[in-house]
Chain A
Amino acid sequence: MKRPPFLVALPWILPWAIGFVAFLAVPIAMSLWYSFNDYSLLEPAAFVGLENYKELAGDPLFWRVTRNTLFYGLASSGLSVVMSLLIAALLETRVRGTSLVRAIVFIPVLVPAVSGAVSWLWLYNPRFGLINSALSKLGVDGPDWLGSTAWAMPSFIVMGLWVIGSSVLVYSAALRDVPRTLYESASIDGVGRLGRFRHVTLPMVSPAILFNGVMSLIWSLQLFAPPHLMTRGGPEETTYTYSMYVYNNAFIYGRMGYASALAWLQILVTLALTLIVLAVGRRFVYYRAA
């Protein structure tokens, strides 16, 4: 007797399904439940209804970390899209050594976040750091990058660019997929190099731009390890991010219920922003017919 396809597939998907339920679905459901509770991990959860969500509105630190994170997310993802596209375009030119440069651009993606943060900490060191040493050779007195309220968050935005290797790869693939005939036609019509980039390249890689933009936004809204390790949110809470606040509430202050409410709001805001970007992007993205 022939077994139904579902039963045939079951043993193959079961390991993943068990992992998904145990390590993702159940914790997600529990975090939703805890967001309606006073829960410190040290004692049983006590139901408080919507109080954790109500408390958010009057919590000045919540608004502070939200502003910081949105600023970082928008600036970092925007800059990342532009820089990675430019680097990918440069790497597609016919010059020697592009493979090596491509590898160098990608290597930071493989560096663990903690190692990267420690390296950047020394690069940004105001007295002994490579950046200020280089600036001093040019006669420029470099600032205290991570200790200044004006420079700390921009320093993290610049640091975020060091892991654009994955985006560059996506753009490289998209750029190679642009039909040469379109460039030839544009050239015949007298379109210059900049014009070809604007009227041919950009529309043709626009799906990749949208994809990278959305992914970059989602990742940057979760910024945690670099400010946690490098500045602990300072100076004056200028680099205190949303994910750090979630972590501190959950594991330092013993307020897992409040942290769960914060986390759920983070997911909903990220989802809303993603949908807005997708809706706006749809007007500008050009999808070729298959």
Chain B
Amino acid sequence: MDAVRNDNPFAVAPRGDNPFAKITDNVSRIVEAERPPRAWYIAFGIALMLLTIFLSAITYLAWEGIGVWGNMIPVAWAFDIINFVFWIGIGHAGTLISAILFLLRQNWRTSINRFAEAMTIFAVICAAIFPGVHIGRPWLPYYMMPIPNQMEMWPQFRSPLEWDIFAVSTYATISILFWYMGMIPDFATFRDRSKTAIRRFLYGIVAMGWRGSSRQWHRYERAYLILAALATPLVLSVHSVVSFDFATAQLPGWHATIFPPYFVAGAIFGGFAMVVTLAVPARQLFGLKRIITIDHLELMNKILIATGLMVGYAYGMEFFVAWYSGSMYEGFTFINRAFGQYAWAYWTMIFCNVVTPQLHWFPKIRRNPWATWVIGVIINIGMWFERFVIIVTSLARDFLPSSWGYYVPTFVDYMMLGGSFGLFFTLFLLFCRYLPMVAMAEVKAFHPSVLSHGHGHGEHHGESHDAPVAAHAGH
């Protein structure tokens, strides 16, 4: 196997010595097991509880109106938009892994892309709920769509909030298509391994008659490439559009040209932090340590250092521009951010997002799964605080001191924040239990034994018949 790595230094394939059958077995047994591990039940119970809290909070909100939140002029946007930006940002890592890393031939992505894509979709679902309920009349979200109606009302296309609708719905559509299409070969594997009629039928339906013929693989590869090409601009565009919600306003602290790249870097940073937060327990719990290896965690941690430095640069540059612009409002906003009433939030953010990732410079830490997990959680907290700092500090101290205020969230705000994690984890745990958590076919395609075929190292040759070698191996 080592010879393979020397031949192809870019193929950071899932290492270890899993032959194909073992990969299939390793992934399928999670779904085929009679019962999931006990930890799954505990986690699912907690997730369902949080989901119930979320649904209760939304019901209460719909019944009473958004007065139950702490949002109050001048801080008219608070947890609702913070949570929206937080969740939509989380999703970006999944799209980056499935689209950009695919186009860049980063083959190590195959071990993590499936559940990163799942994470994307669940994060987008969580994100979409917040703008849906914060309009105050959650039964009227169709006002945001350009539907001809008897009121002659039309969306305001000059508003970035309207662009959001299209950015996020496009993103959700492409992500779901990409995710589902990628799962079809794995569904077929599940179908063919089924022991019960109902499983066979259900996985048979979703596998859509996949037989693994070369023509099917050819089309699959084409479609994969097209979807990757469509999804690639979305990695950059969706969070750029989200940043326009702020950047096009004239509020100091929001009105900044650095926002789109700053938001995109932050989104990928937060998204990868979420991927490692999910990957570490998942590989532990479901016995995937040989597919999602320490090497994978290390690579993701390196991305965390890179993107963490980018957001750190953006934090610094905001201060520089505030000073360099000579605008007194701009200067005040940033001094207030770091030393004003919300300084605690600002320094939490700096600690979590700029200081903590630096620990990954040490190989001992970035190759330790639980240290990785802890740092991932801290970064997630930091990224939530980043949005809090941007939104709340800028609004609470705007141009007129007479309209200044201090935002305090209510209990319902906390219920909605915690509850959205319930929705996310409920969906994620169901995904772990019933869907292929690792893209088996793709992992096999870049398995060292495949890459070694051309060089006469095919010691697992005999087992390769169940993998799409011909279509995938690309050499």
Q: Do the two shown chains form a genuine complex with each other? A: no
